[in-house]
Amino acid sequence: MRPPFAAEPARLRAAWRALACAIVAWVWLSLPAQPDSMAVHFGVDGRADRRAPKTNHAWTMTGAVLLMGVAVDGAAALVRRLSGRWINLPNREYWLDPSRRERTVARIRILLDRFAFVQFAFLLLVAVLTGLANRFDPPRLGIRSLMTGVGIFIAGVIA
């Protein structure tokens, strides 16, 4: 029997993976336009308060994207393979009963993919805003844009 929600996770997975690739592409393709020592952290007023060599920033972002992607896929694989006693769910016995386990595991995968989508969309916003901020002298982050993104991220996580 085909698990319920089978089409949705495939689309979600493809979407968050595309976002992950977009982040890495943006960081590396925008690198030539960045200063050698770029602002990588900003205070609440949008002013830069930490700098790093641009290649360090690019490798850090690439590593973070890879690590987050592996964490999502790894968590999904673990849930599929773990004994029910290692899965923390309210009413675990009900949801992981053999007659419901496949559907529950499919639903958990959807939730992981939705979170990954929201997470990578937010990280793409942060990467773009950081890159754009470094085109100014001195670098200045668009706080309104970032806070709008934070609000959307929170709404996406809650939804």
Give the largest Cα separation in the chain, rounded. 61
| Residue 107 covered by a domain | yes
| Residue 45 covered by a domain | no
pLDDT tens digits, residue range 71-82?
A: 999 999 999 998
Q: How many helices (H) and strands (E) does the chain have?
A: 5, 2
| Residue 23 covered by a domain | yes
Mean pLDDT, residues 41-46 taken together: 94
| Residue 75 covered by a domain | yes
Give the pLDDT band (50/70/90) at residue 10.
Answer: confident
| Residue 145 covered by a domain | yes
User: By residue range, what is the domain housing residue 105?
Assistant: 7-29+56-158
| Residue 66 covered by a domain | yes
| Residue 2 covered by a domain | no
Give the pLDDT band (50/70/90) at residue 7.
Answer: low
Q: What is the pTM of this model?
A: 0.87
pLDDT tens digits, residue range 116-148?
A: 999 999 999 999 999 999 999 999 999 999 999
Q: How many domains does the chain have?
A: 1
| Residue 142 covered by a domain | yes
CB 134 within 8 A of CB 37: no
